[in-house]
Amino acid sequence: MIRAFWEKLDTRQRLFVSVGAGLALLLLLFEFAWSPYRESAAKARRSIVANRASLAEMIRLDDLFSRQDAKLSEIRKTLAGRRANFTLFSYLDQKAVAAGVKGRIRQMQSVAGAKTSSLEETIVDVKLDKLTMKQLAEFLFYVEAPGEMVRVKRLQVTRMKESPEYLSVSLLVASYQPASPGGP
């Protein structure tokens, strides 16, 4: 049937039909092969850019995690070397005696600290009255102990209204201890 149709056509008509069929074939190739290829290549390029950004973020987070894990290991190592009966209250009491300011303590109160599955931050709010600058400096020198994982988190100093030569001090002292069983 197609052969009979082809043979009926003269040379000019055959050329016209051949060119039309070639154009139709090119149009079909463009529509069903080239165009989807270009779209998927563009999609792949966008995906690569997005995945590179995700990879960079993962690398940054891995570095941050590694540094935090190293700090946590250092804290655990320090805590393991600390005496077993360590409490922040008794530590602060001893340091107040050593600095000669035990009688100046108005209040020592425990404050809730951060907790993780393996560590718990213990915080004590200490208020002292009638301190000289020298006494405060000595007390802070005794209290801050990186080897014991004790640090001053916040310090507030005001002059006493009744006696301007003396200071009223409020400080938050923090330390870490292994988390108690049944923690978060």
Tokens matching residue 14: 């055959």
* Angle at alpha carbon of residue 170, lines to 164 and 173, rounded to 5°: 150
Percent of the chain whose pLDDT exceeds 70: 97
Helix (H, G, I), strand (E, B) or coil at 155: strand
Please return the burial class of 33, using the count of CB atoms within 10 Å of its CB with bins 0-12, 13-18 and 19+: exposed
Listed residue (173, 168, 169) closest to 152, CA to CA? 173
Average pLDDT, rounded, for the chain = 87
Average pLDDT on 65-88 reads 83
Q: Say which CATH class 88-178 falls into.
A: alpha beta
> Is pLDDT of 110 > 80?
yes
Q: How do the domains of the chain map onto residue ranges?
A: 36-81, 88-178
Q: What is the dihedral of CA 37, 38, 41, 47, to 10 degrees?
A: -120
Q: How far apart are CA 7 and CA 170, in angstroms?
A: 108
Q: Tens digits of per-residue pLDDT, 33-75?
A: 888 888 888 899 999 999 999 999 999 999 999 998 898 888 8
**Is the pLDDT reported for residue 5 higher than 60?**
yes
Pairing outcome for strands 167-178 and 119-131: antiparallel
The model's confidence at residue 182, banded by pLDDT at 50, 70 and 90, is low
The DSSP letter of residue 115 is: B
- Cα–chain center distance at 125: 27
What is the reported pLDDT for 181?
Answer: 66
Regarding pTM above 0.85, the answer is: no
